[in-house]
Amino acid sequence: LFTPYEAPSKDSLLEKIKSELLDIQQKILKNDKTYSLFVTGHSLGGAQATLAGVILAIDEDIRRAFTAGDPSGEGPVTVVSFASPRVGNHPFRRLHQTLEENNHLRHLRIMNRDDVVPFLPWYSARFRISGQYTHTGLRWITGKDVDEGLLADISYPDIEEEQQPIVYWHPSKPG
């Protein structure tokens, strides 16, 4: 998309994606403000969806184009990622959380507890890479328990269990 050392140019893939989204909203949707913007992906695509969702949620023009009828005139970008590895560092997580708190971004991260990809990159004392990467968004872990059957755990990362919110997540309603 672009490197962290330079601002995106008009020719960058990121700027082309933003331009295409705004063209779709104007030409095909005819400026109908009842649509939402969803970004989704699986595995590496889930990591890319997480990054793209944050970049798009920062963009005021994108939020105003896809409001889903939100009375504020700005709609959140919704990311649904499946089996995504960790992608951002701790400042990225803080940015992500700020965007969520301001209703600019929603992120549902779905993973199977027996899948190794969501736990990548692994911690390596030799390379010390794992501590640099962190998950973001609302985590939905699924799996099977021998005695219990199908399990589902819905939580935010790094929040103590007693502080976890009771979550009712619906993709077409804010909050």
Interacting residues of 145 by C-beta distance below 8 A, sequence separation 6+: 151
Average pLDDT, stretch 14-35? Answer: 84
| Confidence check: pLDDT of 81 > 90 | yes
Range with the largest mean pLDDT of 11-20, 40-49, 85-94, 124-133: 40-49
pLDDT score, position 147: 56
pTM of the model: 0.75
Per residue in 82-138, pLDDT (tens digit) is 999 988 888 898 999 999 989 899 999 998 878 888 888 776 556 555 567 788 888
Asked if the model's pLDDT at residue 40 lies above 80, the reply is: yes
Nearest to 56 by CA among 82, 30, 20: 20
- Is residue 65 predicted with pLDDT exceeding 80? yes
Q: Report whether pLDDT(66) > 80.
A: yes
The whole-chain average pLDDT of the chain stands at: 77
